[in-house]
Amino acid sequence: MILGWLGMAGTFLAYVLLSRGRVSSRSNVYLWLNAVGGTLGGVGSLLYGSLPSAVSNFLWAALSLQPAVWSLVQAASQWQGSRRLSGVQRDEVRV
């Protein structure tokens, strides 16, 4: 039951931060709070036996996961590109 409460707290916090202008709807904080919150809420709902609530929470999590993961992929790609431009090779260690 604690999973459902944690999930609710995560999605509620994401909404409060968004509505007060502390984060944007595209920020990683907002996306990951919704993704983790929706997943925890879905698991909690499944354990409680509420299938409609579980499906709703998992869909909410999926809607947030796609742009959150895409953002991580883009950041990793940019990081790898900047390492290549700086001349640092993967196996090279500078002291």
Cα angle, residue 28 at apex, residues 20 and 12 outer, rounded to 5°: 45
Share the mean pLDDT of the chain. 88
Confidence grade of residue 91 (pLDDT, cut at 50, 70, 90): low
- Three-state SS annotation for the chain: CHHHHHHHHHHHHHHHHHHCCCCCCCCHHHHHHHHHHHHHHHHHHHHHCCHHHHHHHHHHHHHHHHHHHHHHHHHHHHHHHHHHHHCCCCCCCCC
Written as one letter, the residue type at 50 is: S
Threshold 0.85, pTM exceeds: no
pLDDT in tens, 46-90: 999 999 999 999 999 999 999 999 988 988 888 877 766 665 555
